[in-house]
A and B are shown apart, each in its own frame.
Chain A
Amino acid sequence: DAKTTQPPSMDCAEGRAANLPCNHSTISGNEYVYWYRQIHSQGPQYIIHGLKNNETNEMASLIITEDRKSSTLILPHATLRDTAVYYCIVRLDGSSNTGKLIFGQGTTLQVKP
């Protein structure tokens, strides 16, 4: 699996967009980008995933660069409840493996009032 690089921490003002970057320069053509988050002491929560097109759901948007070497998770209007550790994970399509996610150390996002 390709490795990812994320900044260890970021701050964001409440109500503003939070943009969390992830580098995955060795990603293969059939590997997806997944994002999870972990709010203090809780189990991780799935946010979004994508292959090459930009994706949006009720929680966030995922922007993947054309060369697929990096991506950005966007929380459009961050709230205090979005304070968490955000993990970017690169994986083959789940149908071809048994879901062995590799969690790095992620980015700690602190949303401030």
Chain B
Amino acid sequence: NAGVTQTPKFQVLKTGQSMTLQCAQDMNHNSMYWYRQDPGMGLRLIYYSASEGTTDKGEVPNGYNVSRLNKREFSLRLESAAPSQTSVYFCASAGLRNTDTQYFGPGTRLTVL
């Protein structure tokens, strides 16, 4: 099993550009999450999806949209990137029984110039 995979690993954008971060999991998990981590800080939840077809806002949703494409995939879209969105983005998934035992992907390092 690959666990949680994320693409791309690195990305540089100019202000105003758009992009989609991809996340996939092969553990048949129901819940999926997007976090961001700024330098020296803990992770903050952007959006989550408790099950296929549902999405909800986390702590810091402004400037982002998400799509739960199917049970395996959960994408994060930046419509008009801003320098404040420079961060490391982590995707995570969790099973139905215990959503607090989350499995994280390797992260996407995004720089917005």
A-to-B contact residues, CB < 8 Å: 32, 34, 41-46, 49, 87, 89, 91, 93-95, 97-106
List which B78-99 residues lie within 8 A (CB) of chain A. 88, 90, 92, 94, 97-99
CA distance A44 to B104 in the complex (A): 6
**Apart from A87-B42, A93-B100, A105-B42: 4 A-B pairs, beta carbons within 8 A:** A43-B90, A46-B103, A94-B97, A94-B99
In chain A, what residue has the closest Cβ to B106? A43
Q: Are B44 and A103 in contact (CB under 8 A)?
A: yes
Q: B61 in the interface, Cβ–Cβ < 8 Å?
A: no
CA distance A97 to B56 in the complex (A): 12
Q: Which of A45, A95, A103 contacts B97 (CB 8 A)?
A: A95
Please count how many residues in chain B sit with their CB below 8 Å of the partner chain's CB atoms.
29
CA distance A110 to B56 in the complex (A): 37
Q: Are B102 and A49 in contact (CB under 8 A)?
A: no
**18 pairs of residues in contact across A and B, judged by CB atoms under 8 Å:** A34-B100, A41-B88, A42-B104, A43-B4, A43-B105, A43-B106, A44-B92, A45-B104, A46-B101, A49-B100, A91-B100, A93-B98, A93-B100, A99-B94, A99-B100, A100-B58, A103-B44, A106-B42
Q: B43 in the interface, Cβ–Cβ < 8 Å?
A: yes
Interface of A is mostly: loop
Least CB distance, B22 to chain A, in whole angstroms: 15
Contacts of B100 in A (CB 8 A): 32, 34, 49, 89, 91, 93-94, 97, 99, 101
